Amino acid sequence: MKLKEIDRTAMQAWSPAQNHPIYLATGTSAQQLDATFSTSASLEIFELDLSDPSLDMKSCATFSSSHRYHKLIWGPHKMDSKGNVSGVLIAGGENGNIILYDPSKIIAGDKEVVIAQNDKHTGPVRALDVNIFQTNLVASGANESEIYIWDLNNFATPMTPGAKTQPPEDISCIAWNRQVQHILASASPSGRATVWDLRKNEPIIKVSDHSNRMHCSGLAWHPDVATQMVLASEDDRLPVIQMWDLRFASSPLRVLENHARGILAIAWSMADPELLLSCGKDAKILCSNPNTGEVLYELPTNTQWCFDIQWCPRNPAVLSAASFDGRISVYSIMGGSADGLRQKQVDKLSSSFGNLDPFGTGQPLPPLQIPQQTAQHNIVLPLKKPPKWIRRPVGASFSFGGKLVTFENVRVQAQQGAEQQQQQHHVFISQVVTEKEFLSRSDQLQQVVQSQGFVSYCQKKIDASQTEFEKNVWSFLKVNFEDDSRGKYLELLGYRKEDLGKKIALALNKVDGPDVCIKEGKQESEFLPSAGGTFNISISGDIDGLITQALLTGNFESAVDLCLHDNRMADAIILAIAGGQELLAQTQKKYFAKSQSKITRLITAVVMKNWKEIVESCDLKNWREALAAVLTYAKPDEFSALCDLLGTRLESEGDSLLQTQACLCYICAGNVEKLVACWTKAQDGSSPLSLQDLIEKVVILRKAVQLTQAMDTNTVGVLLAEKMSQYANLLAAQGSIAAALAFLPENTNQPNIVQLRDRLCRAQGQPVPGQESPKIPYERQQLPKGRPGPMAGHSQMPRVPAQQYYPHGENPPPPGFIMHGNVNPNAATAQLPTSPGHMHTQVPPYPQPQRSQNGWNDPPALNRVPKKKKMPENFMPPVPITSPIMNPLGDPQSQMLPQQPSAPVPLSSQASFPQPHLAGGQTFHGIQQPLGQPGMPPSFSKPNIEGAPGAPIGNTIQHVQSLPTEKITKKPIPDEHLILKTTFEDLIQRCLSSATDPQTKRKLDDASKRLEFLYDKLREQTLSPTIISGLHNIARSIESRNYSEGLTIHTHIVSTSNFSETSAFMPVLKVVLTQANKLGV
Amino acid sequence: MVSVINTVDTSHEDMIHDAQMDYYGTRLATCSSDRSVKIFDVRNGGQILIADLRGHEGPVWQVAWAHPMYGNILASCSYDRKVIIWKEENGTWEKTHEHTGHDSSVNSVCWAPHDYGLILACGSSDGAISLLTYTGEGQWEVKKINNAHTIGCNAVSWAPAVVPGSLIDQPSGQKPNYIKKFASGGCDNLIKLWKEEEDGQWKEEQKLEAHSDWVRDVAWAPSIGLPTSTIASCSQDGRVFIWTCDDTSGNTWSPKLLHKFNDVVWHVSWSITANILAVSGGDNKVTLWKESVDGQWVCISDVNKGQGSVSASITEGQQNEQ
């Protein structure tokens, strides 16, 4: 296909391969005249811009020269690697001169473009060639057997390759060997070729077929094989190309007889040694394989003879040909359609007729060329044989499951023509694993999920945490698997019931305590007489009197108003209680409206149970307190929502620090989806390890939610699904297909997950059922016109013709849609009459087959769920702190509970709850926990959604029933093991007294509590003797303050004992030992 | 770690030019200068020849598997100017369509994301790119982009169906309004991005210029939910560039040089999770590259005959700043 055209009768030279962009230099040809008979000459440089579809070549520079040229070459001498325009244009002139031009100066428009000039030759210089190994060496040939070797670095004095050949003859061609740098060949029209060895400085061989008809117009060395070269003959009687091998130089190796008339020029492709261009007086440009003689391509020319032809060194598919009709054409040998180009050519031709009257005769000259062939096919076919440069020898492609498919074709030198290729054509399938840590962590997580060792896993994570936040998150997660989760959450937030109790007691004793006692005594003595005697009902006109009157008339409302007005709050509240719930509620409201204390809003919220208010309007800096309040008071059904709400606020209103804390709220809420969202926002990056960080938390939280909450844990939110499938994708990409399957959420119909599951299952290489089974023929699976849709079934899974895929925007099929093999084969027939484009809706109604239970995401055992669901029924909401005085009111929800008396009757247990002491100045300083949770045995509080810890009545019902019996059944620790308890507790106390930072103290407090598990086991005598003796050993080492020894024993116990037996207390013991060691107590 | 889990002796009689696994990674398709296409079942380390497909009259350059929702379909392209679509019917593979619309070697075939339907892009040495769309009843509609790359298109690669940035706020239940795009690379040293207009015509959207020689391959990275689009390109000039586009309009692409090799680079392939790039060079070398935290591309493995170790430390500077 013709790419470009220049209207010049000129010699041509492509810029060297290093050069970018590609230039073509043209120098006015010495041998021809154009229609103007102009004798002016010029040197021009054009740029080959293939992105421009037009036939024009962009002219970059024109230099008017005083010479006309027989030969033009462009060498890469002194060219830098960046390929900036450089190198040297070397021209052979008419008068024995060789001129060196600087092409960059020509392009820049400089006037001084000649680097050097030498006219040592006699006669026109027709042959020039640059040595490709030493680009400063140029060989030239002229008349009288003259051959000179020029050093461009020292241009003045050329060398000769040896003595001149005799008889003297014109040198028409000269060429450096392509493999051996000191070998040069020259040829002359007489048909003789001479090979020179520059080291010996003499001709080493002469090649001639003795026919005397060879009229050498072309000489070229084989690009790859050092000893082979071709000679072309211009003689019409012998229009051949001879291929010679110097090892058998008596006769040509091969003779190519493809031209009908003499050959004017040849060019051998450096990019593919099987491509040799030749142009001849038969007006043909042929591309042949000189190794076989086969013609691979005939360029579609409609031009005249071409006298010069050149491959483009940089773009191997491009060549240029200069023809006698005054044109240089640039062609591609890759064929292609010339539709876009032809029009232009016609235009050009017609316009050029205008200039064909150079002598002003009024009679235009007839066109020189043969009339244009009209009905020529527009399509130009490419080479018969693919050129070497498009044959991809190597490839590596990734495929699903982290597999890499590679192939390599070892290059075989085509030495001696057809060499036996003993290549093995293998394809390697490799597994690529790049994320080892990710895989091992994922592995751990899976093991934990299987072994259910969540607590110790969380503990490990806590211990390994790098940041406080990370530690918090894991602590919060861990709490989910422990008893009294809400209480522990409170502790994590910094509210320890015991601590608070102590603090309050301390405060009371120190400040108020003695006073109160005294006052009480006094009061008693003061009151006693009046209580025993009569009292005066005043009906005077003062406030007292008015109140009295109101009371006497049963007008509580007025009485309360009076009391409020007089700021007698206590009286008002007490009266309001007598006046009924409505009045009490009103009174409370009025009271709160009047009261301005800092903690009023908290009290308000506690009394009115308006947690939403707190959560919605507290200062975000107080989020811990707000969360604490929610943890303490909120009912299970609103607990999650409140935590959520708080989290949402933190996320949307808080600064970046608070935003991350929202994660903690979501953990409390058990809201996996929001945790994912929040985490994703806070921790950027989708690197495998950061995803692993997230997934660990999510997996643990989901487990926790499954264990503790009645909510449907199997629904997977969009974002979580995305993350999970991303995670599974990562696992799959590392080749862990089975693990990826295990982590994919089970009960979801989200398309990406359903598709990934199918892909994973099949990637595992499940056997394909018999191929003969019925399947859907291709033709029947018609795609509706223009609408994408499923087309055909898998023959691989004939029994399961339904596809898992459906275009986006369609209703996804039910989850039971995926088939896993063992489905009813008959279903396939039901599938057959599919309407176009709706195939995916034809879901066979068979149930989802039981899958192998490798998915830890399987819903929890059914029996567990109903049990949990009952929880709310037994649950009593927290009681407002009006309770010490009267029954709560204004809570319709609590009244609906059967256990809750609706009438304002005092509850017996209420008396036991002390008034929460709210220290005036400190906001939200926590709420006293009345019934000591720590004493509660684990068996009792297993469901984590027990009543809120601050909800006295809520828990009373359970407590009242179960606490006494529990207390009785608790056995004493056997005497011989009592030493363990005393030693450990003593150690913790010692540590506590010397520990300074609150974090350590918290840890120790926690430890002391968790050691209760150990003591319980000791009581029940369920521990194995080895563990017991090990523990005693630890105790002894503690006695001797050799904590490191203790730790060693500890490790030994853990490694040798049953994990589940020791997991409850051993980690904690380790913490204690480590702390003791650190503190040096 | 790169470890060979299966060595498939293809018994091809000449150079292999492409080897591709199907969607599940259970079947391997290969093609060769011996004019044949072969399909192997390679599950569980086995290698069962399922099909030896003859029909091309020249070397077969590339094979491409269609998404399995359309059945078992394989496309192949050849120097013989033909694209053949093969399909498994009743357990046997047969030619189901032959596309002869190119005037020169067809160098690359690539199936569009399955969400668009069954669409195949073909790049040819005639400079054109053709798009075959299955319209039902065995009919394929052909659209052609002429003069896409002067003197030849070497590679085509589709953009993933997820429109950048749309992952989160994509309204569920609504058919997403995909914008179909693909990239092509050619002998004009250019990478071009093509976009389907509303009238169904394909329009050149972008020209990416950085290579100084033929672009041998382009690979649009799979979407992993990030708003960035990424394209890898490799060239005869030995350079591999990573192009990224962050803006939503998709117009500003910036190249980053991954490496300059000493020889032509033939092929680039992204891992499914788009974090590793496999680069195949003319010196028969396969290398794996990964972007480090600071955004530099680092060679993590040299793969030789399917084997290689993976350097643990990503900071290891095998990179030659160019």
Model pLDDT for residues B180-224, shown as the tens digit of each residue: 999 999 998 999 999 998 888 999 999 999 998 999 999 999 987
Distance from CA of B169 to the nearest CA of A (A): 11
pLDDT band at residue A646 under the 50/70/90 scheme? confident
Residues of chain B with Cβ-Cβ distance to A434 below 8 Å are: 1, 276, 288, 290, 300, 310
Among A423, A429, A736, most B C-beta atoms within 10 A, so best to mutate, is A429
* pLDDT digits 0-9 by tens, A672-712: 777 787 777 766 656 778 888 888 888 888 777 777 665 55
Nearest to A763 among B26, B151, B225 (CB): B26
Check CB contact of A356 with chain B, cutoff 8 Å: no
Residue type, A267: A
Check CB contact of A411 with chain B, cutoff 8 Å: yes
Among B69, B108, B240, B265, most A C-beta atoms within 10 A, so best to mutate, is B69
Element (H, E) at A707: helix A688-708
Q: Would you give the DSSP letter of residue B251?
A: -
Check CB contact of A733 with chain B, cutoff 8 Å: yes
Residues of chain A with Cβ-Cβ distance to B113 below 8 Å are: none
3-state secondary structure A355-420: HCCCCCCCCCCCCCCCCCCCCCCCEECCCCCCCHHHCCCEEEEEECCCEEEEEECCCCCCCCCCCC
CB A59 within 8 A of CB A39: no
pLDDT value for A571? 79
Interface list for A 983-1042 with B (CB within 8 A): none
Query: In angstroms, how far is CA A141 from the centroid of its own chain?
Result: 63
Interface list for B 38-97 with A (CB within 8 A): 42-44, 58-59, 61, 67-73, 79, 81, 87-91, 96
Check CB contact of A315 with chain B, cutoff 8 Å: yes
For A785, which residue in chain B has the nearest alpha carbon? B135
pLDDT band at residue B176 under the 50/70/90 scheme? low
CB B64 within 8 A of CB B74: yes
Q: What percent of chain A has pLDDT over 90?
A: 9
Check CB contact of B306 with chain A, cutoff 8 Å: yes
B28/A315 CB distance under 8 A: no
Q: What percent of chain A has pLDDT over 70?
A: 66
Indicate whether A818 pLDDT > 50. no
Q: Would you give the DSSP letter of residue A817?
A: G
Nearest to B175 among A786, A789, A809 (CB): A809
Among A79, A312, A427, A730, most B C-beta atoms within 10 A, so best to mutate, is A427
Distance CA B236, CA B285 (A): 15
Beta pairing, strands B83-89 & A216-221? unpaired
Residues of chain A with Cβ-Cβ distance to B126 below 8 Å are: 1, 334-337
Check CB contact of A83 with chain B, cutoff 8 Å: yes
Residues of chain A with Cβ-Cβ distance to B225 below 8 Å are: 686, 722, 726
Distance from CA of A361 to the nearest CA of B (A): 43
Indicate whether B44 pLDDT > 80. yes
Residues of chain A with Cβ-Cβ distance to B21 below 8 Å are: 397, 399-400, 403, 405, 429
Q: Which two tokens stand for residue B38?
A: 């072969």
Nearest to A50 among B136, B151, B306 (CB): B151
Range A711-736 average pLDDT: 77
Residues of chain B with Cβ-Cβ distance to A428 below 8 Å are: 4, 6-8, 305-307
Check CB contact of A405 with chain B, cutoff 8 Å: yes
CB A338 within 8 A of CB A5: no
Residues of chain B with Cβ-Cβ distance to A775 below 8 Å are: 90
Helix, strand, or coil here: A1076?
A: helix
Interface list for A 432-451 with B (CB within 8 A): 432-434, 436
Indicate whether B166 pLDDT > 70. no
Nearest to B306 among A428, A722, A788 (CB): A428
Check CB contact of A812 with chain B, cutoff 8 Å: no
Distance CA A592, CA A361 (A): 118
pLDDT value for A73? 92
pLDDT value for A827? 41
Indicate whether A846 pLDDT > 70. no
- Return the beta strands (E) in A696-851 as ranges: none
Identify which of A461-465, A873-877, B96-100, B137-141 has the greatest average pLDDT: B96-100
Residues of chain B with Cβ-Cβ distance to A50 below 8 Å are: 149-151, 187-189
Range A386-397 average pLDDT: 90
Distance CA A986, CA A998 (A): 19
Indicate whether A376 pLDDT > 50. no
Burial (CB < 10 A; 0-12, 13-18, 19+), residue A985, is: middle
Range A786-809 average pLDDT: 40
Check CB contact of B175 with chain A, cutoff 8 Å: yes
DSSP string, A345-356: HHHHHHHHGGG-
pTM equals: 0.67
CB A121 within 8 A of CB A159: no
Residues of chain A with Cβ-Cβ distance to B136 below 8 Å are: 782-785, 836
Check CB contact of A794 with chain B, cutoff 8 Å: yes
For B172, which residue in chain A has the nearest alpha carbon? A809
Average pLDDT, chain A: 71
B21/A796 CB distance under 8 A: no
Nearest to A485 by CA among A458, A463, A465: A458
Backbone CA torsion sign across A829, A835, A836, A839: negative
CB A944 within 8 A of CB A708: yes
A396/B267 CB distance under 8 A: yes
B8/A428 CB distance under 8 A: yes
pLDDT band at residue B87 under the 50/70/90 scheme? very high
Indicate whether A937 pLDDT > 50. no
B9/A391 CB distance under 8 A: no
CB A311 within 8 A of CB A270: yes
Q: Which two tokens stand for residue A606?
A: 């506690």
The CA angle A525-A531-A533, to the nearest 5 degrees, is 110
Range B242-258 average pLDDT: 86
CB B83 within 8 A of CB B109: yes
* pLDDT digits 0-9 by tens, A65-111: 888 888 999 988 876 655 555 789 999 988 888 999 988 888 888 88
Check CB contact of B16 with chain A, cutoff 8 Å: yes
pLDDT band at residue A493 under the 50/70/90 scheme? confident
